[in-house]
Amino acid sequence: MIPAEEAILSASILSSGECLVGLNLTGNDFSTRAGGLLFDLIKSMAETSRPADLITITQAIRELPSDEKRAYPAAPALNALFAMGASGAAVPFHAALVAGEAARRRLISTGQYLIQYGNEGMDVDILADKALELVQGAVAGVSTTVDSIGVTLADTINSFGEPVTYSETPWPSINHLMQGWRPGGLYVIGARPSVGKTIAGLQAAIKLTALGPVAFISLEMSEVELQKRMISLDAKIDIGHVTRNNLTDEDTNRMAPSIQRWEAMPLYVDKTHGAKFTDISRHVWSVKRQHGLAAVVIDYLQLMEPSDPKKNEYQTVTENSRKLKLLAQQLDVPVIALSQLNRSSEQRDGKVPQLSDLRASGGVEQDADVVILLHRDLMKSPHEIELIVAKNRHGVTGTADMDFCGYYSEIRDRQQAA
């Protein structure tokens, strides 16, 4: 054991485990199995209100089965720790040293893993994915102390005078329900094919570029197709004229004043079809490093490829939705993921979608801070669309009635029209 580990164990024996309260450390952080087992035993005794002095610890070890007992420090080692007389006041400092050394060992182990499997020819994307997972796990325990709620309560109270940071959506009615896009949040916009989810995602992205660069991952449409939709939306030009390259003189006149603004728009499109999470993460972090980042939009979740080809669609979507949630938290920007819905709503009266219709995974519903479902009756009322806030972790749920202006690639809030 390293000296800091011995000091923690000594202080914990002398304090009957009281010095371990609030310590974010486990036996896995110790450099030896014996030290880790002893630490977990003392901590368990303290947490269950059992005395954890030299006598009771020795007795608890004696009562273990013989094969388990041998893994713990012997009686002379326990006596030496007791005689060491370490102070409980220094435990947080010593714990930071132990956690740091544990993280160092895990990082070295991660490096050895990557060298071994890299040399064995493991798929690069799987290896990169595993590297991110292992590195994050290696450093997760470096923070060794936690504060009670009372310690941080003053900061929360003082923050009441500060405005909560939200970025407005393009639709005032939706802003009324969920205030806007919150940094660090995962937002899912779900719809059946051809209902309008790409239009909703593009509108959201364009609106957010007013605040800064937006990374747009288009797994379904080409960059040219997105640009044409953007031109139709922003200049109010019939999408049919744009897609057929059949602009009228009036269309050209409408487009001309906006060309310079479009050229400067900080919308960065990654048009890699069938991208894995590692590809998406690489694009997003590149945008952030080179230009800054205000938001991420992904079109769409079910088109993200698995990190491991052996995984089925359910496992892939579950894994990717969780990774997108973590990405939003790491970047501290809203991540908006478009999602396909299954066919269940088509068999339902009214065909109104529900959370359970999110295709392939209940994990999407679990990970998302907000889920917005789009509903449009393509036969009876194709020019009307409902945006249903079906889940809202930070506010209320509800439905907003909108107009669907397909010829302009726009979902228009009736509040705006009024």
* Residue-wise pLDDT tens digits, 181-213: 999 999 999 988 888 888 999 999 999 999 999
pLDDT of residue 144: 45
| Last-in-domain residue among 115, 139, 163 | 139
Provide the token pair at 151.
């310690």
313 belongs to a structural domain: yes
Element (H, E) at 11: helix 3-14
Q: Which structural domain range is residue 8 located in?
A: 3-139
Quick: pLDDT tens for 241-283. Answer: 888 888 888 888 888 888 888 888 899 988 666 677 878 888 8
Same domain, 184 and 86: no
User: Which residues on neighbouring strands pair with residue 167, listed in sequence order?
Assistant: 181
Q: Range with the lowest mean pLDDT among 82-91, 200-209, 363-372, 408-417?
A: 408-417
Q: DSSP code of 73?
A: P
**Could you tell me if 394 and 304 lie in one domain?**
yes
Of 140-149, 293-302, 332-341, 387-396, minimum mean pLDDT range: 140-149
**152 belongs to a structural domain:** no
CB contact at 8 A, 388 and 375: yes
Same domain, 229 and 313: yes
Examine the fold and report which residue of 89, 119, 139 is the final residue of a domain before the chain moves on.
139
Tokens 């899912």, residue? 188
Supply the pLDDT for residue 139.
61
Residues 121 and 241 in one domain: no
Residue 111: what residue type?
G
Q: What is the DSSP string of 177-234?
A: HH-SBPTT-EEEEEE-TTSSHHHHHHHHHHHHTTTS-EEEEESSS-HHHHHHHHHHHH
